[in-house]
Structure 1
Amino acid sequence: MPSPEGESDMLPGLRATVADSRAKAAATRKRRAAEVEAAERDPVARVLVDLPLAHLDRPFDYLVPAKDAESAVPGVRVKVRFAGQDVDAYVVERAAESDHPGRLAPLRRVVSPEPVLAPEVVALTGAVAERYAGSRADVLRLAVPPRHATTEAKPSAPAPETASAATREAWTGHEPAAAFLAHLTDGGSPRAVWSAAPATDWAAALAEAAAATYASGRGSLLVVPDRRDVDRVDAALTQVLGEGHHVVLTADAGPAARYRDFLAVSRGARRIVLGTRAAAFAPVRDLGLVAIWDDGDDLHAEPRAPYPHAREVLLLRADLQGCGVLVGGFARTVEAQQLLRTGWAREITSPREVLRARARVSVVEAGEREHGARVPRAAYDVLRSATAEGPVLVQSPRAGYLPSLACERCRTPARCAACTGPLQLSGPTDPPRCRWCGQQARDWACGECGHRGLRAPVLGGARTAEELGRSFPGLPVLVSGGDQVRATVPDRPALVVATPGAEPLAAVGYAAVVLLDCWLPLARAELRTDEEALRRWANAAGLVRPGGHVVAVGPAEHPALQALVRWDPAGFAEREAAQRSEAHLPPASRMATIIGTPGAVDDMLTLFSGPEGTEVLGPVPVGDDEDEVRAVVRVPRRLGAALSGALGEVQRLRSARKLEAVRVQVDPFSL
């Protein structure tokens, strides 16, 4: 057995052997690279490597071996040697020569001869990365789904040769919708912001717009917030066009189905795509229309870097490809209003007489309800009369039973003794329980006055359904919200209690819609509070049947509720836009947030050199976490591109120096 001294004597020899082996391996790789026979035509491949490092966000040149000359076409996946390891990459271009002064490394192999990255998507991902000061590799991961080899080997079934005749019934009452659809049919590229009237079948309207574009031989891309909306538009497209003319792209479809449908679009077998936010990058051929429904929904904002919004992706795509645009919703965002203010798009809306015929909207003050009653008398009368005609929707802003509790005597919010989290009741016989840690609080006492009684300042959907069931005995009461969301309800008398976004569809619409506790969504301290409240109310009110009644229970004088009563999303959006312009807030300005540890954010701001007129606000702690801070950088709207460019440059510099990462969000959806 060798002694420790002997082992020490052996170490230099081992190190020399390892170094010699590495040198030989490197020399072998270099010799083999030199021996590779290059393709005769366009022997240079420019590739984008799949590495999310900002300083590597550019094409790199590689040699195309002769054996891969036919398969290494633009758009295919390849393996390349980069920084001593094999990495994934996409070929974006073939060229005759390279600007690189040294010897080019060859492509390791072509992973698949299937072109999955279309040239127009390459341009779009670059524009999105630049717009949001991010890395193109991160955008490519949003644009191209993972490969599924078995699915790739199968051919895509061609679409039927004929489609059903396009109709325009769902657009009745909207002007100038007929001209918009005619322009699409004739091969034009109109751009419109559409405010839908109550009782409008918006899914059928989107399908008819896609059909009008399809009649001109072009494709369409329809983006909606969630799977329930996808299912609704999917059925409408099938009804308008027939089976087999469109595909659905959603993240929950599964890897095989998602890749199959993606390939059908990439190969040109389908030209109509419906999906959620990631579908905005779908490689639709001969794209004639991009459309987004309810662009104010936060589900359109990507939660992964570089955090693009589906609306902005579609608008960039429309500029790059010269296609038509449709931004629609029952409500209207300030960003959509900005498209009209600048003249970039035209408005599609309904005359006042059409709006009056579609729905009657009124507001009841919450103080008008009798003591102990959940619903004011005026709203109760609407419920009683409307349930004789069909289902009635009751929107409750909170899910659960009693989602928040307070001291019965001094009104101090009830908190958990273990973690200071808010207390709630999940059922009529359950003890108070913490929403954060789940611990029961059987012996709770108020920390301010010592009183042990509890009251509920806010009632959840389950408690609302319980009280309405007692008020309307014998009438079915259905609940939709939380983990139990109903897609549809039958067309018969019933009370349907739902939380915002979980409202089921009624076959012919609801006889009435009652919006409870409208003061609650208005109490949030956020930039989009009023806009989001109106959006939620309008989406619920839009489900009413023609001639139905909508009653809102809340502060009647509030501008958002007044806009609902008049069904004036345009006026409300214009008012919001004017207020934000005075406060130098988006979209009148361009803004970015920088979030990270105090030292990292300070380093970022030190290196950052924005355009003239840049304002830096903060840094301030993020919530109660002192270990994370946020700085806000703001410039006038005309300098938005310069701001994104400056932030991107700093990110590349920091990446090259391997400094601590920060999270940069350009035009964040919420502050």
Structure 2
Amino acid sequence: MSSDDKQPGGPGDGPEQLALIRETVRKAKVPRAKPRTWRGAALAKELPVARVMVDKGVLHLDRLWDYAVPEELDAAAQPGVRVRVRFGAGSHQVREGRREGGGLVDGYLVERRAESDYTGPLAALAHVVSPEPVLGPELLALARAVADRYAGSLADVLQLAIPPRNGQAEAAASPAPLPAPAAPGPGTWSRYGRGPAFLDALARGAAPRAVWTALPGPHWPEELARAVAAALASGRGALVVVPDGRRAARVDEALTALLGPGRHALLTAESGPRRRYEQWLAVRRGSVRAVVGTRAAMFAPVRDVGLVALWDDGDGSHSDDNAPFPHVREVLELRAAHEGCAFLLGATGCTVEAAQLVESGWAEPIVADRARVRAAAPLVRTVGDHDLARDGAARAARLPSVAWEVAREGLRSGPVLVQVPRRGYVPRLACDRCRTPARCRRCAGPLEAHEVHELCCAWCGEAEREWHCTECGAFGLRATVVGARRTAEELGRAFPEVPVRTSGRDQVLDAVPGRPALVVATPGAEPVAEGGYAAALLLDGWAMLGRPDLRAGEEALRRWLAASALVRGQDEGGRVVVVAESTLRPVQALVRWDPVGHALAELAERAELGFPPVSRMAEAVGTPQAVASFLQSVRLPPEAEVLGPVPVPPQARPRGRAEGAPAPGAGREPAEERWDRVLLRVPPGSGAALAAALKAAQAARMARGATDPVRVRVDPPSIG
């Protein structure tokens, strides 16, 4: 046998060659115990491994990744700081755990470890963006709970929870914390049976949970401020979330009047990026213990939070349109449960979800007795759409005679509010002869009249200059719902001596003087009147009640109550006229001022039919092929029901940032291209299993590189 035919380890091998072979085999089989250096850099001597949440909001990458900590970054690379790391650009690199290649991405350093579970080589942290620790353990736990509940990724939740960095704000010193204030008196909380007891429990350091049905009138901001002061008196923090900046400003003013400046932070978009980040940092550093803000403030890192409060949970602003689409009410419920703090949900109305919290025993009700409700609420009258005005001025304003008379009487002593369901000039049109809705010839979308003689499509924006009815051939049009601008013009002609002001999306008024005037506003844009409105007219009630949505009645009542709560009480002559049929349940609830009774009746019906919130639901929206593929891949709980698919009209297609890809319909899609929606329903107790199944299916689709996105939303605000 020649030397070339000898086998390794055979008689021809010397001791040195055998030793080299054994060493080679040992190195191939035994993993490295420590991460290697990256590009020759020395690593930190203690805890050389950093676990990083990479800011890549895709579900199949929703985990912590290990990186080596270079020695020069040892001091700055502390848990909670923002970092930059290299992340593999290709899917092969991700599967193999090799992250030496790829571009730099943002992330958060979650923890430091002595060793890594990964046995391969680790890339090193590129650099620490800022030594400011912005992600604490409490916020991390809350974000993870929210991601799991809504079948989303932790990175997406952190994008909603932590504001963008501003270096100048970080360099500014936060104020020194002020000592705890004295416990406040009950004030107007004494109007509610359990109100003073709730404040006392907060001041003692307890954690009561309550659903508060506020009396109409201007006192609710001060009452929220007193609840915050009670929590601060116990040495704890407090958080209040409201729907918009106007209401945040009212609570801000009430807190400043009660506690003085410097005791709370205001977190709203109107503050601007730098000011908002400065305030957020003051809260995180513990300099400020109380926060009032809009939706994103639900994640505010309040130190030792003792109270989380929410105003008007039925407002659509509380539901985020970016993945994973959390709702403020659910997030604050999670905070109350995880952090052991008090919970307060307040509104002039009552949602079905709020009623369920009371019915389940999770929260206690705070309500006033019927005598106080009758005294504080205005007198409400109803008129049907069939009522005609009895004189020329009323016909010109398209008002029933009762509404016209109430407006005339109210204008003698103050301003009169006129609520119309839609903005614009004549938002919806129909054939004047046969009442067939006017549709665009290009995409079949509804036609609108933004100016007196110009028609255009609400979906595609195409101008329509030669419309005629496809059913009867007529050329005349009539308004099905008159918009705010048109209503203002007609009221101006009917009341020529009275100033008319409008408040809507383009220009929202915060307040109006107490002088006689007509204020025409869309729902949610009603300004506060000095001394309260003398009267209110709620027009076209059928337009809100007739929406094809499970929440149509609840939403109509909520908007009517919000507008009517701005009117003077019955004892002061306040009057409200609602143009809707008096036999309908929401209308009766408004007349009696009984939002809780309406919510309980709705809850009972939904329990019988298996609708939310008694059941848990999710929706999946996308092209028919994508939705069908998704349903085949998801492993639903055995008790789950699949409802659909059904076509989704263009105006109802989802918008906002979805997981890992643009949401279906994020831009205008051709009307002829079809999108489908399926609803997935599970009974109580199976919501977590449904969310986990949906998240796993989405992660698998993304890992396979699916090009047709499917937007999944748990607890959609509208299910039709």
Structures share fold, TM-score greater than 0.5 = yes
Match of 2:468 in 1: 445
Match of 2:713 in 1: 665
State the distance in 2 between where 1:110 and 1:440 align. 54
Asked whether the equivalents of residues 595 and 629 of structure 1 are also in contact (C-alpha less than 8 Å), the reply is: yes
Unmatched 5+ residue regions in structure 1? Answer: 1-29
Match of 2:533 in 1: 510
TM-superposed deviation, 1:440: 5.3
Match of 2:662 in 1: none
State the distance in 2 between where 1:486 and 1:82 align. 48
Match of 1:412 in 2: 436
1:357 maps to 2:380: no
Amino acid at match of 1:616: V
TM-score (norm: length of structure 1): 0.91
TM-superposed deviation, 1:435: 4.1
Asked whether the equivalents of residues 163 and 242 of structure 1 are also in contact (C-alpha less than 8 Å), the reply is: no
Instruction: Map 1:377-526 onto structure 2 (within 5 A).
Output: 377-417=401-441, 419-427=443-451, 430-436=453-459, 441=464, 443-526=466-549
Say if 1:211 and 1:612 are closer, same or farther in 2 by CA, change over 3 A. Answer: same
**Among residues 703, 708, 715, which one is paired with 1:656 in the alignment?**
703
**Among residues 226, 243, 246, which one is paired with 1:228 in the alignment?**
246
User: Which moves more between the two structures, 611-620 or 298-307?
Assistant: 611-620
Q: Identity, % of aligned pairs? A: 54
Cα deviation 1:468-525 (Å, max 9, x = unaligned): 2233331222221231221110011222111111100012211222211211101100
Match of 2:295 in 1: 277
Say if 1:564 and 1:31 are closer, same or farther in 2 by CA, change over 3 A. Answer: closer
Asked whether the equivalents of residues 44 and 70 of structure 2 are also in contact (C-alpha less than 8 Å), the reply is: yes
3-state secondary structure, aligned to 1:326? strand
TM-superposed deviation, 1:111: 1.5
Match of 2:553 in 1: 530
Say if 1:89 and 1:444 are closer, same or farther in 2 by CA, change over 3 A. Answer: closer
**Among residues 38, 43, 46, which one is paired with 2:48 in the alignment?**
43
Say if 1:341 and 1:595 are closer, same or farther in 2 by CA, change over 3 A. Answer: same
Kindly report the root-mean-square deviation, in angstroms, between the aligned alpha carbons of the 2 structures: 2.1
Amino acid at match of 1:386: G
Asked whether the equivalents of residues 164 and 240 of structure 1 are also in contact (C-alpha less than 8 Å), the reply is: no
1:588 maps to 2:588: no
1:632 maps to 2:679: yes
Say if 1:342 and 1:162 are closer, same or farther in 2 by CA, change over 3 A. Answer: closer
Asked whether the equivalents of residues 170 and 200 of structure 1 are also in contact (C-alpha less than 8 Å), the reply is: no
Say if 1:423 and 1:595 are closer, same or farther in 2 by CA, change over 3 A. Answer: closer
User: Which moves more between the two structures, 40-49 or 239-248?
Assistant: 40-49
1:62 maps to 2:110: no
State the distance in 2 between where 1:451 and 1:81 align. 66
TM-superposed deviation, 1:157: 2.4
State the distance in 1 between where 2:219 and 2:600 align. 25
User: Which moves more between the two structures, 89-98 or 285-294?
Assistant: 89-98
State the distance in 2 between where 1:34 and 1:457 align. 71
User: Which moves more between the two structures, 291-300 or 449-458?
Assistant: 449-458
Match of 1:327 in 2: 345
TM-superposed deviation, 1:254: 2.6
1:80 maps to 2:128: no
Match of 2:646 in 1: 620
Asked whether the equivalents of residues 224 and 277 of structure 1 are also in contact (C-alpha less than 8 Å), the reply is: yes
State the distance in 1 between where 2:480 and 2:182 align. 54
State the distance in 2 between where 1:52 and 1:478 align. 45
Asked whether the equivalents of residues 389 and 401 of structure 2 are also in contact (C-alpha less than 8 Å), the reply is: yes
1:579 maps to 2:605: yes
Match of 2:635 in 1: 609
Amino acid at match of 2:61: L
TM-superposed deviation, 1:653: 2.1
TM-superposed deviation, 1:618: 2.0
Cα deviation 1:527-574 (Å, max 9, x = unaligned): 111111011101101111233222212100000010111111111111
State the distance in 2 between where 1:649 and 1:451 align. 55
Asked whether the equivalents of residues 167 and 240 of structure 1 are also in contact (C-alpha less than 8 Å), the reply is: no
User: Which moves more between the two structures, 349-358 or 607-616?
Assistant: 607-616
3-state secondary structure, aligned to 2:338? helix
Match of 2:688 in 1: 641
State the distance in 1 between where 2:455 and 2:302 align. 53
State the distance in 2 between where 1:415 and 1:622 align. 17
**Among residues 29, 33, 39, which one is paired with 2:38 in the alignment?**
33
Instruction: Map 1:9-158 onto structure 2 (within 5 A).
Output: 32-33=37-38, 35-83=40-88, 84-85=101-102, 86-158=104-176
Say if 1:369 and 1:154 are closer, same or farther in 2 by CA, change over 3 A. Answer: same
Asked whether the equivalents of residues 165 and 241 of structure 1 are also in contact (C-alpha less than 8 Å), the reply is: no
State the distance in 2 between where 1:633 and 1:268 align. 43
3-state secondary structure, aligned to 2:192? coil
Say if 1:440 and 1:626 are closer, same or farther in 2 by CA, change over 3 A. Answer: closer
TM-superposed deviation, 1:235: 1.5
3-state secondary structure, aligned to 2:155? helix
User: Which moves more between the two structures, 35-44 or 298-307?
Assistant: 35-44
Amino acid at match of 2:629: D
Say if 1:320 and 1:506 are closer, same or farther in 2 by CA, change over 3 A. Answer: same
Say if 1:453 and 1:192 are closer, same or farther in 2 by CA, change over 3 A. Answer: same
Amino acid at match of 1:94: R
State the distance in 2 between where 1:627 and 1:471 align. 47
3-state secondary structure, aligned to 2:38? helix
User: Which moves more between the two structures, 619-628 or 103-112?
Assistant: 619-628
Match of 1:241 in 2: 259
TM-superposed deviation, 1:400: 2.1
State the distance in 1 between where 2:486 and 2:455 align. 15
User: Which moves more between the two structures, 437-446 or 121-130?
Assistant: 437-446
**Among residues 535, 558, 561, which one is paired with 2:584 in the alignment?**
558
TM-superposed deviation, 1:430: 3.5
State the distance in 2 between where 1:398 and 1:318 align. 37
TM-score (norm: length of structure 2): 0.85
TM-superposed deviation, 1:434: 4.4
TM-superposed deviation, 1:265: 1.2
Amino acid at match of 2:318: H
TM-superposed deviation, 1:152: 1.3
Count of residues in correspondence between the two structures: 641
State the distance in 1 between where 2:447 and 2:647 align. 26
User: Which moves more between the two structures, 616-625 or 214-223?
Assistant: 616-625
State the distance in 2 between where 1:554 and 1:612 align. 44
TM-superposed deviation, 1:442: 5.1
State the distance in 2 between where 1:204 and 1:336 align. 22
3-state secondary structure, aligned to 1:288? strand
Unmatched 5+ residue regions in structure 2? Answer: 1-34, 89-100, 651-671
1:543 maps to 2:566: yes
User: Which moves more between the two structures, 235-244 or 528-537?
Assistant: 235-244
3-state secondary structure, aligned to 2:422? coil
Cα deviation 1:141-183 (Å, max 9, x = unaligned): 0011111122212211235557587343242422211111111
TM-superposed deviation, 1:651: 2.1
Amino acid at match of 2:437: P
User: Which moves more between the two structures, 193-202 or 458-467?
Assistant: 458-467
Cα deviation 1:183-236 (Å, max 9, x = unaligned): 111111111111111114222221111111111111111111112222222222
Asked whether the equivalents of residues 166 and 241 of structure 1 are also in contact (C-alpha less than 8 Å), the reply is: no
Cα deviation 1:390-426 (Å, max 9, x = unaligned): 1121111122232222222222223345554434444
3-state secondary structure, aligned to 1:648? helix
TM-superposed deviation, 1:34: 7.7
3-state secondary structure, aligned to 1:356? helix
User: Which moves more between the two structures, 114-123 or 384-393?
Assistant: 384-393
State the distance in 2 between where 1:410 and 1:310 align. 45
Say if 1:507 and 1:655 are closer, same or farther in 2 by CA, change over 3 A. Answer: same
